[in-house]
Structure 1
Amino acid sequence: MADLSNRPVRMVFTSRAGGASSSPYGSFNLGDHVGDDPTHVAANRARLARILGLNAAQFVWMEQLHTNTVTVVDGPQSEPVEATDAIVTRETGLALCVLVADCVPVLLADHSAGVVAAAHAGRLGARNGIVKKTVETMLELGATTPNIQVLLGPAAAGETYEVPKEMAQDVEKHLPGALTTTRKGTTGLDIRAGLVRQLLSLGVTNVDADPRDTITDTDFFSYRREGTTGRQSGVIWLTGAA
């Protein structure tokens, strides 16, 4: 196993495997707002903390409402950060978390400046500039666009994410590059593609995207596929390593 102890930033995406939750949340559901047994969610979050070598109190969660609100956090939070869809910090050891089940989890870091962020980019949030605003907030805290690294996690892919034509055209107007055609020949959206294009336009060129499709890949929770289901997470934190 690779030694990760000297990495200044850690980025992790979870899957649905290896947790305590029962169907339809089986099994590693990290969402506490989807109807799952709270004790199962707590057990799953505690397991995540153990695996990552962190304390559960170090995790910062969001009350995600598909907004374009970005919040800077500077310490542990006893409750999810209210009504926000991106969180940014300069604090070492503070694990920023984003919950998803088809939306794009976006993890951003400038380890030279010591600034990290996690953003929830669903159709509406992406359309309304949540990732752009997250980058702008990072810059205000000392990050620079050439040094920002971005990782987009598993999400609904353009090949399967069908939406009405008018909706897709509206998103395309605000997030160019998102409009696509599904493998069925219907109108679709590829939010990751639109976000990559947006990030490049901002001068952020260190961008990687996990291509896996949550709608078709049963290793992940998918609201589109299942309706009532759990949530996987993206997690990012500054380790304090040089």
Structure 2
Amino acid sequence: MSTRTGGCSAAPYDSMNLGSHVGDGPADVARNRDRFAAVLGARPVFLNQVHGTRVVRLQAADAAASAATIDADAAFTTEAGLACTVMVADCLPVLFAAPGGRGVAAAHAGWRGLAGGVLEATIAALCQAAACRPGELVAWLGACIGPRHFEVGDDVRTAFLGEAVAPLGCEVPQAAGEGGAASRFTAGGRPGKWLADLAGLARDRLAVAGVQQVSGGHWCTVEEGSRFFSFRRDRVTGRMAAAVWIGGSPG
């Protein structure tokens, strides 16, 4: 996962902004993306993220300069050298790897996508492509807005408590562990407001889905202003990226 340092963009996008949709100069974004790709040693494929649950399979053609940007919030691949990439500035990036280098995936998990089932959809797609079980996957959670700063309304809490129907057409599953999803919300300082633990909600849903090998998710984008972009903190700001790939070159 990138941080906000090491790029060439000027304030308020300083300096490693990878988002082309936030008002930064296109030439600076292009140079930053080139630097990002060089560090990875792979070809990142950026998505047009819409806070949904669509998962797409990436192939070599998707990394071509002439390729159209895909509308999706998660991607997986079984091809070497393609970096499944998601951009964030408070939302949670979740990276997956299947055993034996058989496949990787990246998911953009804001609260809407998380409640709607983007992680479950990504797990299902990757397991099918890599011929493995959820328990064989390794998952890593990147930096996101922390539980001391993610204030949400009753609608968000209701979505995770299973009282609403997810966009995928199935009821939102209850979280694993004592207290379920309710334990990931604490009363905020105003009526009808709650402080939500986004990374904790993701860990619970991964556990319900059968993913047991989970790490990361302990960095707060709001609190570490010198290290991370945060939309909630700054409103006009850049985007970081998290990527995962299979070593080698696209075929």
Q: TM-score, normalised by structure 1?
A: 0.87
Out of 180, 185, 202, the residue aligned to residue 180 of structure 1 is: 185
Cα RMSD (Å): 2.0
CA distances 1:8-42 after superposition (whole Å, capped 9, x unpaired): xxxxx110011100111110000111111000001
Who is 1:9 aligned against? none
Out of 190, 194, 213, the residue aligned to residue 201 of structure 2 is: 194
Output the amino acid matched with 2:198: I
CA distances 1:155-186 after superposition (whole Å, capped 9, x unpaired): 01112100113332223323632741278585
Who is 1:143 aligned against? 132
Unaligned runs of 5+ in 1: 1-12
Aligned partners of 2:9, 2:49: CA distance in 1, in Å? 21
CA contact (8 A) 2:8 2:32 kept: yes
- Alignment of 1:109 with 2:97, yes or no, is yes
Who is 1:60 aligned against? 45
Out of 217, 240, 244, the residue aligned to residue 210 of structure 1 is: 217
**Percent pairwise identity:** 34
Aligned partners of 1:169, 1:143: CA distance in 2, in Å? 33
Aligned partners of 1:168, 1:104: CA distance in 2, in Å? 17
Out of 230, 235, 238, the residue aligned to residue 243 of structure 2 is: 235
CA distances 1:122-178 after superposition (whole Å, capped 9, x unpaired): 111111000000000012111322220000100011121001133322233236327
Q: TM-score, normalised by structure 2?
A: 0.84
Aligned partners of 1:113, 1:47: CA distance in 2, in Å? 25
CA contact (8 A) 2:111 2:156 kept: no
Aligned partners of 1:41, 1:100: CA distance in 2, in Å? 15
Unaligned runs of 5+ in 2: 163-171, 176-180
| Runs of 4 or more above 3 Å deviation | 78-81, 182-186
Who is 2:166 aligned against? none
Q: 1:1-242, aligned counterparts within 5 Å?
A: 13-54=1-42, 58-77=43-62, 78-79=66-67, 81-112=69-100, 114-141=102-129, 142-173=131-162, 174=172, 176=175, 177=181, 179-181=184-186, 187-218=194-225, 219-240=227-248
CA distances 1:44-98 after superposition (whole Å, capped 9, x unpaired): 11111222233xxx22110100111011112142445422100010001111110
Aligned partners of 1:113, 1:239: CA distance in 2, in Å? 8
Output the amino acid matched with 1:126: L
Aligned partners of 1:146, 1:181: CA distance in 2, in Å? 30
Aligned partners of 1:80, 1:98: CA distance in 2, in Å? 16
Report the more deviating stretch, 136-145 or 162-171.
162-171
SS at match of 1:66: coil
SS at match of 2:48: coil
SS at match of 2:32: helix
Output the amino acid matched with 1:225: R
CA distances 1:101-122 after superposition (whole Å, capped 9, x unpaired): 0000010011326110011001
Report the more deviating stretch, 174-183 or 63-72.
174-183
Aligned partners of 1:165, 1:93: CA distance in 2, in Å? 43
Aligned partners of 2:101, 2:5: CA distance in 1, in Å? 34
